Amino acid sequence: MALLNFYGAIQQVTGSCYLIESRDGARVLMECGMRQGRRDADEDNRAPFPFDPGSLNAVVISHAHLDHSGLLPRLAAAGYRGPIYATVATSELLELMLLDSAHIQEHDAEWENKWRARVGKPQITPIYTTADAELALKLRHPLEYEELHEVAPGVRLTYHDAGHILGSAIVELEVDDHHLTRRLVFSGDLGNTCSPLMHNPSILTRADAVMLESTYGDRDHRCSEDTLDELAGILQQAYRDGGNVLIPSFAVGRTQDLIYYLGRFYQEGRLKQQAVFLDSPMAIRANAIYSRYQDQFDLPEHNGRPAKKVKRIEQWLPILRCTASPEESMAINRINSGAIIIAGSGMCTGGRIVHHFKHNIWRKECHLIFPGFQARGTLGRNIVDGASNIKVLHQRFAVKAQIHTLGGFSAHAGQSQLIDWVKNFDHRPELYLVHGELEKMQILQQELKRQLNWDACIPEPGEQVVL
């Protein structure tokens, strides 16, 4: 019999990791994500894998975000040498994401060790190194959407467009079980149907088991036009207040959406600020990859006219300034008003955004906009929940800036979109809720029962089920 093991993103949002074992001995790992935000996340990311990496036949990745792919370098360092499957665009983004993550691991360990040396604490090592990331990247095996490929004996993979970020995929696995074939579908991260760039998620109808993400299982997003009007109003108020605007943003996906929206405001004369800084080397490089894959975009019409095609994403917003070097980033700190600063990380767990907090978050005329989900335990979530002061870079700062959350910009499907997607499956396959906080899963579970009379399971960490 074929088995499905739930190892990560179980009753929490990050750290996706699932192992499929066939009766004939094939072992396929689906996702190898990094855990983020929680106090014990670093310890979890350093822990031994709950399986032998050398015994795996293949690894299947749904998309490039680190909570789905970020431990691939550790997997390679632990002995995995098989193929890592991903879509063509995801394969390209993985190079960007994993090398940047490795650099951050090395840099943060070096910086932390300088502080530890001064206070007499033991030294730490990075979770993985650039060499580990390069080893993992050599194992990439890109596949096109809708291409059927045998990834292990008796296990076949097809990717379908998930509409979440560039290259994101719904994973369909056919697993031979003697004379039967069991079909497992993993939603990956399903895209918000209001996304300005991505296609709507592909609709599937056949499965024996479905794994459904539930990041926003408890609620729907606001209408995108209402959210845009709110964003425009915040930016105009910030201009009148005379402060800067900080936007923590994921380098891949959210940043490109924001550039598109700010470009719209600029063309409509609704953007008073005269400088938008993209202060993220990874986002700058991601823009170049996005620019090469514009055939995968679904640009909406605006005022009855198709959105214009551009050679480079930056051309959508002429006042955008990309600050790749540390010196360019530090120069932004001399600007006290009139700037919009987009920087990583999206949940404020590191990156350049925390340096901008140091210079802005204690100023009441500044505005801080969260355009997406903030996982429990992250600095971003603490601020959203009303923290009066925060600790960054071993210093404590009062939170005086005006805080805004804009749920309508999420790249994830909301509750109704999740239900609308999953209800297309015939014959009520086994349904497992993953990739969400427990209380949000429970609300989605109740709605599935109420609306569709469908009993969804919420797995326990480490649980194993028969496909």
Q: pLDDT tens digits, residue range 74-95?
A: 999 999 999 999 999 999 999 9
CA 368, CA 350: separation in Å to the nearest integer? 16
Nearest 10 degrees: CA dihedral of 231, 232, 235, 237?
Answer: -110
- Of 68, 158, 89, nearest in space to 297 by CA: 89
The sign of the CA dihedral 136, 65, 420, 462 is positive
CA 63, CA 191: separation in Å to the nearest integer? 12
Q: Give the strands of the sheet with 17-21, arranged side by side.
A: 140-143, 84-87, 58-60, 27-30, 17-21, 3-8, 464-466
Fold entry, domain 225-409: Rossmann fold (3.40.50)
**pLDDT-wise least confident of 174-183, 230-239, 310-319:** 310-319
Query: Can you tell me the mean pLDDT for 189-206?
Result: 92
* Per-residue model confidence as pLDDT tens digits over 352-388: 999 999 999 999 999 999 987 787 888 989 999 999 9
* Per-residue model confidence as pLDDT tens digits over 412-467: 899 999 999 999 999 999 999 999 999 999 999 999 999 999 999 999 999 999 98
A 10 A CB-CB count for 339 gives 21
Supply 121's token pair: 């604490």
Residue 394: per-residue pLDDT: 82
Same fold, 3-219+411-466 and 225-409: no
Residue 308: per-residue pLDDT: 59
Does the structure show a pLDDT above 80 at 103?
yes
Mean residue pLDDT across the chain: 92
* Per-residue model confidence as pLDDT tens digits over 131-157: 999 999 999 999 999 999 999 999 999
Residue 240: per-residue pLDDT: 96
- Of 63, 124, 131, 126, nearest in space to 97 by CA: 63
Q: Count of alpha carbons within 13 Å of 196, Cβ hemisphere only? A: 25
Supply 11's token pair: 């009753």
Q: State the first-to-last Cα distance of the chain, in angstroms, to the nearest integer.
A: 7
Q: Where are the domains of the chain?
A: 3-219+411-466, 225-409
pLDDT over 70 percentage in the chain:
97
* Per-residue model confidence as pLDDT tens digits over 8-60: 999 999 999 999 999 889 999 999 999 987 777 888 999 999 999 999 999 99
Residue 307: per-residue pLDDT: 57
Class of domain 3-219+411-466: alpha beta
Higher pLDDT, 223 or 200: 200
Let me know: does 138 contact 75? Beta carbons within 8 Å: no
